[in-house]
Amino acid sequence: MAYRWKTDLTERDVTPEGAWLTRRGLMAGIAGAGIATLAGRGRAAEALEPNTWEEITTYNNFYEFGTDKTDPARHAGAMTIAPWSVRIDGLVDRPADYALEDILSRMTIEERIYRFRCVEAWSRVVPWNGFELADLLEMAGVQSGARYVAFETYLNRDEMPGVRFPVLDWPYVEGLRLDEAMHPLTIMATGIYGRDLPKQNGAPLRLVVPWKYGFKSIKSVVRITLTAEQPPTSWNKANPREYGFYSNVNPEVDHPRWSQATERRIGAGLFARREPTQMFNGYAEEVAGLYEGMDLTKFY
């Protein structure tokens, strides 16, 4: 049975597809963080004039292909996504390289309409297609000593020109505590808007953790490791003062360079009023218990 959680989102709240795949129209002429917009809680998103297919597919973030927003579209076509496999290892009963086709044949794919909040203070609403990460981990058999789950992104220096530069310590890595990973809201996405993920958006398989800032939702996953120790994560290694391991959406804990108290949401118009950011991105009722007794200003 599909997981049900309390939500006020409907299909009318979904960020228009063109706005999800490109921010060019919203970002032109604007510098800094917190610049994009989206409709508020319980209110339908205003429709944007759809971008052309070229615009949609030529403005994305995926640093492995370069830091310029046009780089992923120019270079991601070279990324090999078939065949694809995910190595699941560490503290599991059945470590193996699992072919994507085999994984998908054993998973229940469903649509999840989630809020997506960027650490830069913009947000949107996305209809993901995917399956619960817990089902994948249970397929591999989680051992009793496991406490964390580590993730690794595909890396190919011949296909990814961005990794020739030390923007981050490649390959891109992320991690969750095991209870976070096993939570039914945490999914592995295979598509958006009922279509396969574009390469520049993390094809063919990416993590989605809706109560955390977007950079936690690692793209193009090739390895998942169960471990007893907290794993390193790319942005935390690059700047631990700004990017904590947990990275939960928290309006009370600011980024050192900007406030997280409000956000602008893609789809509501360029000059839409900033709206209050919700604790845990609106999923507090479901996930706050995971952090009971923790100092969230320390474990940020």
- Provide the annotated binding site for Mo-molybdopterin: 60, 63-64, 118, 153, 201, 206, 217-219
Q: Known binding site: residues?
A: 60, 63-64, 118, 153, 201, 206, 217-219
Beta strands in the chain (DSSP E): 85-90, 96-99, 110-117, 122-132, 148-153, 173-177, 187-192, 195-196, 206-208, 221-227, 262-265, 275-276
Looking at the DSSP bridge assignments, the partners of residue 111 are: 129
Residues 6+ apart with CB under 8 A from 200: 57, 60, 62, 65, 72, 73, 76
Q: Which of 262, 282, 265, 193 is nearest to 46 (CA)?
A: 265
- In the 8-state DSSP scheme, what is residue 51? P
> In whole angstroms, what is the distance from residue 233 CA to residue 175 CA?
6
Question: Does residue 151 contact residue 233 with C-beta atoms inside 8 Å?
Answer: no
> In whole angstroms, what is the distance from residue 125 CA to residue 109 CA?
19
Looking at the DSSP bridge assignments, the partners of residue 125 are: 115
